[in-house]
């Protein structure tokens, strides 16, 4: 191949590859931004869980109620229920809407605390 032919063949390929590389970089940026947004959302959710766990007292009276474990206790605390008295005075339907815990379950806890005199 002569020098002039070699130069021509190289020049043709460069023009097509540059837009392809730019498009691939743009796709990669978009993909990475989506990943970063998902990770940011996950970090935020984990920070909220840590905050909820840190705000739960060591000797949580809600944990003495049958059926309430740490997860439900955290949800109740987030809704402003700090103890048995707060739970007994709560409206089960409103509390269910705030916590995502079924009202029937909450009514059962309220009945259990009333029956046991807690």
**Residue of 70, 33, 40 lying closest to 55 (CA atoms):** 70
Give the pair of three-digit tokens for residue 45: 């959710």
- Give the chain's residues under pLDDT 70: 1-16, 56-58, 117-118
97 and 65 within one domain: yes
Structure letter (DSSP) for residue 90: S
90 and 47 within one domain: no
pLDDT at 90: 92
pLDDT at 96: 95
The answer to whether the pTM exceeds 0.75 is no
Domain span at residue 94?
61-116
Give the residue from 55, 70, 96 where a domain finishes: 55
pLDDT at 49: 86
Give the residue from 11, 33, 55 where a domain finishes: 55
67 and 29 within one domain: no
* CATH at residue 79: 1.10.150.20
**Spatial distance between the Cα atoms of 90 and 106, rounded to a whole number of angstroms:** 9
């Amino acid at each position: 191949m002569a020098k002039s032919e070699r130069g021509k063949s190289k020049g043709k390929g460069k023009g097509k590859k540059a837009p392809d590389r730019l498009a691939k970089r743009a796709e990669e940026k978009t993909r990475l931004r989506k990943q970063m947004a998902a990770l940011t959302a996950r970090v935020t959710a984990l920070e909220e869980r840590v905050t909820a766990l840190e705000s739960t007292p060591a000797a949580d009276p809600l944990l003495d109620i049958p059926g309430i474990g740490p997860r439900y206790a955290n949800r109740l605390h987030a809704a402003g229920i700090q103890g048995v008295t707060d739970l007994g005075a709560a409206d089960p339907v409103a509390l269910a809407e705030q916590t995502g815990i079924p009202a029937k379950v909450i009514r059962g806890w309220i009945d259990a605390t009333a029956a046991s005199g807690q």
